[in-house]
């Protein structure tokens, strides 16, 4: 190989290396730009995931509060039934008492009327 051929080969090699470097740099720029877009998308998704986790946790708290409420008031229907029974008993006693007083007053009134009639007719 002659010196000129060597110089030409070295120049070609330099050109090829420069082209390879330019291509690699361009690829790196494209890759970095794509990765930046991916990172932005991941940041957005992570923000949404955080929001969803907060919503899920809040709803979990509400569900737990409802379960606690339901557990603490499970005896309320029996208590309500007892109060209704007591109220019905009181109402029936009051009705019976009112009817008894009414009947007694009516009977006493009839007796006095009959006695009064007997006394007026006897005189």
Q: pLDDT, tens digit, for every residue of 80-118?
A: 888 888 877 888 888 888 999 999 999 999 999 999 888
* 65-69: long-range contacts, CB 8 A cutoff, minimum separation 24: none
Its pTM stands at 0.36
Give domain limits for the chain: 1-74, 75-123
N- to C-terminal Cα distance for the chain?
A: 173
Taking the CA atoms of residue 23, residue 29, residue 31 and residue 36 in that order, the dihedral angle to the nearest 10 degrees is: 180
Q: pLDDT, tens digit, for every residue of 49-81?
A: 888 888 888 888 888 888 888 888 888 788 888
């Amino acid at each position: 190989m002659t010196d000129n051929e060597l110089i030409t080969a070295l120049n070609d090699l330099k050109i090829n290396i420069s082209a390879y470097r330019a291509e690699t740099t361009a690829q790196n720029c494209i890759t970095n730009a794509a990765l930046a877009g991916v990172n932005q998308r991941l940041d957005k998704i992570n923000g949404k995931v955080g929001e969803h986790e907060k919503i899920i946790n809040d709803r979990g708290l509400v569900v737990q509060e409802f379960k606690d409420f339901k557990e603490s008031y499970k005896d309320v229907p029996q208590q309500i039934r007892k109060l209704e029974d007591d109220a019905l008993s009181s109402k029936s006693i009051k009705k019976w008492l009112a009817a008894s007083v009414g009947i007694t007053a009516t009977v006493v009134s009839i007796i006095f009327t009959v006695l009064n009639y007997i006394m007026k007719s006897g005189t």
